[in-house]
Chain A
Amino acid sequence: MPHTKNALSFTLHLADTALILAQRNGEWCAHGPILEQDIAITNITLDLIGQARNFYQYAARLHEANENAVTEDSLAYLRTEGQFKNLLICELPNGDWAQTILRQFFFSTFQMLLFEKMKQSNNTQWVAIAEKSIKETHYHVKWSSEWVIRLGDGTTESHDRITKALDTLWMYTGEFFIPASYEMIEVTALKNEWMNKVKEVFDEATLTIPENVFMQTGGKNGVHTENLGFVLTELQYLQRVFPGAEW
């Protein structure tokens, strides 16, 4: 059934994306620049883990017809780099606070638009997950937008740092809107609105959207940056060392 196969791939893409970004953001926990913000980024990490679990659990059910042993954990812990379908931007190292913030802003703004669209799909599971998650995503957008503005319009140093982060990250934003064959939401159509939202925040942050940048892609189809292997090595270590154990 190609329809189920596409639904599975797309669900895994959404789950992997949330999980890998959570894995990265989680690195900030206990190391944030100020206690309140340590709590905030950790909160976002928790929200993303929650989303990942919802999508993985649904993906496991889509599998069930032919495979019994598939669970949220087997999907997260026992697939390899080439099987992961997350967006490349999620697997990049955190860099400094500016890079982490800017990535969150780009991603959450996109995710908000995506979930809005998902709410109108005819897949009831996606609708349910999107409805639950979008409230959190609105907060992620608000929080990260405020920080982009603060850093862009803060000090010379913060402006320089976020400009550098922009230079690093921009080439990974095109992938949001380049559809994979399995993608069941028309992501190309979200681009204009995303650009408008970014422009609005950038204007206030005194930042400029780069032009004519060649966009990186591949994550949705399992072709990743060199970073993902390291992320998965840490993530999956215990499940790999002790196969079949319950935790």
Chain B
Amino acid sequence: MEIYNLEKAFQEKIDKEIKIEPKDWMPEAYRKTNLRQISQHAHSEIVGMLPEGNWISRAPSLKRKAILIAKVQDEAGHGLYLYSSAETLGTSREQMIDDLHSGKAKYSSIFNYPTLTWADMGAVGWLVDGAAILNQVMLCRTSYGPYARAMVRICKEESFHQRQGFDALLVLSKGTEEQKAMCQDAINRWWWPSLMMFGPKDSESTNSDQSMKWKIKRKTNDELRQNFVDMIAEQIKLLGMTLPDPDLKWNEAKKQYDFGEINWDEFWNVVKGNGPCNKQRIAARRKAHEEGEWVRAAALAYAEKKQLRTKAKVA
């Protein structure tokens, strides 16, 4: 078939809501966009383990410690499914990890912010996972089959994380004066970076139109961001805390919240590597990978020896 016809057949499938599978023909740009997005998502899960992993040793109760460990472990699991999904597009996990370490591949900028107090564990769960879920719920219906299926599993666990985060903040909000202050401070620091998680404005977003047409995405950055603001502006009332935006106001005519302008200069700077923890995050991932080199080599060497011995026995 001519390329033109292949593309037409491909788009027809998408329009009919038929999932694209690894062995199906797909435009090169579709493969690339998916690979970029899925691997970026996988990297985000793995890098995202760092700011929360920080607090495992200091969690303030055994119950909270167990919940936090389970959460960070879930993220490692999500990373695994996502790397497997991305591998179906023809790039190895090893290559993707190298791209992360060299700076060629990106991960969610949110993880370049530091987790400074225990309340950050709650705020990350509630706001960061909350923002991620909106994106992920949409991705459960994305057109690439392996990605959509991975997202269904991930979404179930993520909504649990968000509830846990909110619950941790709720306890703080009813606690001592110091705990309340800790809670408000964490919300203040995580609010704007969470809004930035939805990416540039639709008018500035380069990949948006094609991704919508291919149903990789089904909602625009601005739509998702608005959904998030509307959700959090209501939930925060239950905490008795405030969001750090003087322009946040219910708009009766639009039936949604108006909110202030994001600091796009900060956004682009963090994307470009100038956030508070960009260097530390990548350094930590590289260190783990490099220090694990001899372990992986030993496992491989042993597996090969074992195989040879089995062969020798059979012969």
Which positions in A face B, CB cutoff 8 Å?
19, 23, 26-27, 29-39, 42-43, 45-46, 49-50, 52-53, 56, 72-73, 76-77, 96-97, 149-151, 153-155, 157-158, 161, 234-235, 237-239, 242, 244-247
Choose, from B26-34, B69-77, B135-143, B200-208, the stretch at the interface. B69-77
What chain B residues lie within 8 Å of A32 (beta carbons)? 288, 292
Judge whether B49 and A29 touch: CB under 8 Å.
Answer: yes
The total of chain B residues at the interface (CB under 8 A) is 48
Judge whether B57 and A31 touch: CB under 8 Å.
Answer: no
Judge whether A157 and B297 touch: CB under 8 Å.
Answer: yes
Judge whether B72 and A34 touch: CB under 8 Å.
Answer: no
Judge whether B64 and A247 touch: CB under 8 Å.
Answer: yes
Judge whether A97 and B292 touch: CB under 8 Å.
Answer: yes
Contact with A along B170-207 (1 / 0, CB 8 A): 01100110110000000000000000000000000000
Choose, from B12-20, B237-245, B270-278, B298-306, the stretch at the interface. B298-306
Complex Cα gap A120–B61 (Å):
32
Q: Which residue of B lies closest to A42 (CB)?
A: B73
Complex Cα gap A84–B265 (Å):
51
What chain B residues lie within 8 Å of A247 (beta carbons)? 60-61, 64, 118, 168, 171-172, 175
Judge whether A26 and B291 touch: CB under 8 Å.
Answer: no
Within B52-73, which residues are at the interface with A (CB < 8 Å)? 52-53, 56-66, 69-70, 72-73
Complex Cα gap A158–B178 (Å):
49
Residue B80 at the chain A interface, CB threshold 8 Å: yes
Judge whether A73 and B61 touch: CB under 8 Å.
Answer: yes
Which positions in B face A, CB cutoff 8 Å?
46, 49-50, 52-53, 56-66, 69-70, 72-73, 76-77, 79-80, 83, 118, 168, 171-172, 175-176, 178-179, 284, 287-288, 291-299, 301-302, 305
Top 9 nearest A-B pairs (CB, nearest first) are A33-B292, A154-B298, A158-B298, A30-B53, A30-B49, A238-B60, A33-B295, A247-B60, A150-B302
Judge whether B60 and A34 touch: CB under 8 Å.
Answer: no
Judge whether B298 and A30 touch: CB under 8 Å.
Answer: no
A33-B291, A245-B179 known; A72+B69 contact, CB < 8 A: no
Q: Which residue of A lies closest to B53 (CB)?
A: A30
Complex Cα gap A76–B66 (Å):
14
A26-B57, A31-B284, A49-B69 known; A73+B62 contact, CB < 8 A: yes
Judge whether B72 and A33 touch: CB under 8 Å.
Answer: no
What chain A residues lie within 8 Å of B176 (beta carbons)? 242, 244-245
What chain A residues lie within 8 Å of B175 (beta carbons)? 245-247
Judge whether B58 and A157 touch: CB under 8 Å.
Answer: no
CB of B314, distance to nearest CB on chain A (Å): 20
13 contacts between A and B (CB under 8 A): A26-B56, A26-B65, A30-B76, A32-B288, A33-B288, A33-B295, A37-B295, A42-B69, A46-B70, A50-B66, A97-B291, A154-B298, A237-B58
What chain A residues lie within 8 Å of B61 (beta carbons)? 73, 77, 239, 247
Complex Cα gap A234–B178 (Å):
20
CB of B184, distance to nearest CB on chain A (Å): 16
- Give 11 new A-B contacts, CB below 8 A, not counting A26-B69, A33-B293, A52-B62: A33-B292, A34-B295, A35-B79, A35-B80, A38-B76, A50-B66, A53-B62, A151-B298, A154-B302, A238-B60, A247-B171
Q: Which residue of A lies closest to B294 (CB)?
A: A157
Complex Cα gap A72–B66 (Å):
13
Q: Which residue of B lies closest to A238 (CB)?
A: B60
Instruction: Please classify the interface of chain A as helix (H, G, I), strand (E, B), loop, or mixed, using the class held by over half of its residues.
Output: helix
Complex Cα gap A32–B59 (Å):
20
A46-B70, A73-B61, A154-B302 known; A34+B284 contact, CB < 8 A: no
CB of A6, distance to nearest CB on chain B (Å): 24
Judge whether B62 and A49 touch: CB under 8 Å.
Answer: yes
CB of B18, distance to nearest CB on chain A (Å): 32
Judge whether A235 and B179 touch: CB under 8 Å.
Answer: no
A39-B73, A43-B73, A239-B60 known; A161+B80 contact, CB < 8 A: no
A153 interface neighbour in B62, B73, B293, B302, Cβ under 8 Å:
B302
Judge whether A35 and B76 touch: CB under 8 Å.
Answer: yes
What chain A residues lie within 8 Å of B291 (beta carbons)? 33, 96-97
Complex Cα gap A27–B59 (Å):
13
Complex Cα gap A52–B299 (Å):
31
What chain A residues lie within 8 Å of B171 (beta carbons)? 246-247
Complex Cα gap A151–B296 (Å):
10
Q: Which residue of B lies closest to A231 (CB)?
A: B57
Judge whether A42 and B298 touch: CB under 8 Å.
Answer: no
A26-B57, A234-B58, A238-B58 known; A154+B76 contact, CB < 8 A: no
CB of A222, distance to nearest CB on chain B (Å): 21
What chain A residues lie within 8 Å of B294 (beta carbons)? 155, 157-158, 161
Judge whether A242 and B179 touch: CB under 8 Å.
Answer: yes
Q: Which residue of A lies closest to B305 (CB)?
A: A153
Complex Cα gap A209–B111 (Å):
45
